[in-house]
Chains A and B, each alone.
Chain A
């Protein structure tokens, strides 16, 4: 493709002592794509997200966002450039209410140097935060402390906080992990619906092949720090290596054969 990719990694490497968590990762993602990342535990999926968002420095390689190198930038700078992420375990402010979590996110999105005297809760902010919570179907939990809401709701709030800054790209690390089986599809439905409406490019990590197959336009398969397959879902999920090393190793019932299209 001739267009500049929104996110591109070139020869990314990362080791932790003897563990190779990323080995020569070359990936280019274009605006508008929905990319699924699969791979068994420890394959290096989170490490990849940590590196492209500036949390972990790669041992070698280059990362470009919208054609600019973002290597060495702090996560907050990368966030401000328009790349947001959610977390495998929801990263919230547990003592604050759901609404206040959103307001903090919104206030920082508006200005990275928050005000000392202007209150956090302005009517405009509250309105916008509530609207976002509604989009995700979790407005009912507005005034609950985060520790008191269900896991699935926490994951949604986590994603909502990432989205409220209107990012260009969103990286979701296992959005449905820790969520009850029957809630997984509804959760992904509400997320993808919002994401589509905002025209955000998405990359998400997922173990459940049914979910992957339902939402993505492209799959990256990770194994032992390497991308062993990259392409349309049908092609990747039929790949012999992927079937052997990734799908067959998925945990629990998630490794079931995908629903054929």
Chain B
């Protein structure tokens, strides 16, 4: 497998960031861990946006990832980080395979609404589950890695792990964006009817993309659970998903690194905003979002403007 320049660059950044564990202050590595983990969830949103679908429920897989990691330790006695993350991805993929059957029949606001509804179903279930701590959630601890117990350096371990996973995922997603499926997704966004007429199944393409996005997002949830040592139903609440959409739009769909950069920016600004202007933080987000839409129309246009079936007269 030959790596192109972008891919080398992504891996190198991952290594450099991971090495930062020796020099960066703890608060910063923690901030970056959360940011990159969120970035992974956002990658899932972005992959779907490329295909023209806006998921307002990606928190579903973020939450599934987090809860799988937590429950794996609590109930299955699995503590190995790699096994737990693999389980997260599998759990998310299985759920996505089922929901995807239904969801891929919908586009635009219907897709957005239905994804939102599904994540709210999970929220509703978890918030009422006594054994899972209801709305308080529960704690995640005792993470090990291939037999090694990081103990007090657990946070640092999760940071390095997150950097590694983010870099590998970025390489993979970069490849995806240059692959046939990547282009077919763009083609679907721009003119689904034509894709069908070329002989491909838009639904199958969207389905596989949806499942893949779920698995990637679950990784983000799992890593977040390990980093914060806690999971709660809020992860599936729709405002969490809204945040992912926000970060996705902030970064744009042009480059695989964008979600990570945007998530870091987001987390940094939030840290300070919550400290200094606690009740204006969302307002800032709102204005930034409007700013992106109004002043960067090109980026967003290419995202959302596609040959509408209704307008395209054959």
Beta-carbon contact of A92 and B179 below 8 Å: no
Q: Is A75 positioned at the interface, with any CB of B under 8 Å from its CB?
A: yes
**Contacting residues of chain A (72-109) with chain B, CB-CB under 8 angstroms:** 74-76, 79-80, 84-85, 87-89, 91-96, 100, 103-105, 107-109
B258 to chain A, nearest CB (A): 17
Task: Pick the interface stretch among B128-136, B162-170, B182-190.
Answer: B182-190
Task: Pick the interface stretch among A17-25, A112-120, A184-192, A251-259.
Answer: A112-120
A115 to B186, CA, bound (A): 14
Partner of A91, one of B186, B191, B200: B191
Partner of B198, one of A113, A117, A120, A165: A165
**Contacting residues of chain A (50-92) with chain B, CB-CB under 8 angstroms:** 50, 53, 55, 74-76, 79-80, 84-85, 87-89, 91-92
Contacts A88-B313, A104-B184, A118-B180 given; does A112 touch B200 at CB 8 Å? yes
B2 to chain A, nearest CB (A): 11
For A89, list chain B residues within 8 Å (CB). 312-314
Beta-carbon contact of A76 and B199 below 8 Å: yes
Beta-carbon contact of B307 and A91 below 8 Å: yes
Partner of B176, one of A55, A91, A104, A117: A117
Q: Is B193 positioned at the interface, with any CB of A under 8 Å from its CB?
A: yes
13 A/B residue pairs, CB under 8 Å, sorted by A = A91-B191, A91-B194, A91-B312, A94-B191, A94-B307, A107-B184, A114-B180, A114-B184, A117-B175, A117-B179, A118-B179, A121-B178, A165-B198
Q: Is B197 positioned at the interface, with any CB of A under 8 Å from its CB?
A: yes
Contacts A96-B186, A114-B205 given; does A79 touch B181 at CB 8 Å? no
A175 to chain B, nearest CB (A): 13
Q: Is B201 positioned at the interface, with any CB of A under 8 Å from its CB?
A: yes
Q: Is B110 positioned at the interface, with any CB of A under 8 Å from its CB?
A: no
Q: Is A173 positioned at the interface, with any CB of B under 8 Å from its CB?
A: yes
Beta-carbon contact of A93 and B200 below 8 Å: no
CB-CB nearest in chain A for B313: A89
Q: Is A46 positioned at the interface, with any CB of B under 8 Å from its CB?
A: yes
Q: Is B108 positioned at the interface, with any CB of A under 8 Å from its CB?
A: no
Beta-carbon contact of B199 and A114 below 8 Å: no
For B183, list chain A residues within 8 Å (CB). 96, 100, 103-104, 107, 114, 120
Contacts A76-B197, A113-B204 given; does A120 touch B182 at CB 8 Å? yes
Contacts A75-B196, A79-B197, A114-B205 given; does A46 touch B314 at CB 8 Å? yes
A201 to B197, CA, bound (A): 18
A22 to B290, CA, bound (A): 48
Closest 5 CB pairs of A and B: A114-B180, A79-B199, A91-B194, A108-B200, A93-B190
Beta-carbon contact of A76 and B201 below 8 Å: yes
Most-contacted residue by chain B among A53, A74, A109, A119 (CB, 10 A): A119
For A111, list chain B residues within 8 Å (CB). 180
For B198, list chain A residues within 8 Å (CB). 76, 79, 104-105, 108-109, 161, 165
Chain A residues bordering chain B, tally (CB within 8 A):
43
Q: Is B13 positioned at the interface, with any CB of A under 8 Å from its CB?
A: no
Partner of B180, one of A46, A53, A92, A115: A115
A84 to B198, CA, bound (A): 8
Beta-carbon contact of B186 and A95 below 8 Å: yes
Contacts A55-B314, A76-B200, A116-B176 given; does A93 touch B186 at CB 8 Å? yes
A95 to B15, CA, bound (A): 35
A75 to B203, CA, bound (A): 13
Beta-carbon contact of B184 and A50 below 8 Å: no
**Contacting residues of chain B (258-314) with chain A, CB-CB under 8 angstroms:** 302, 306-307, 312-314
19 other contacts beyond A85-B197, A165-B198, with CB at 8 A cut-off?
Answer: A76-B198, A76-B200, A79-B197, A87-B194, A87-B312, A91-B314, A93-B187, A94-B191, A95-B190, A96-B186, A104-B180, A108-B195, A109-B198, A112-B200, A114-B183, A114-B184, A116-B179, A117-B179, A119-B179
Beta-carbon contact of B190 and A115 below 8 Å: no
For A79, list chain B residues within 8 Å (CB). 197-199
Beta-carbon contact of B199 and A120 below 8 Å: no
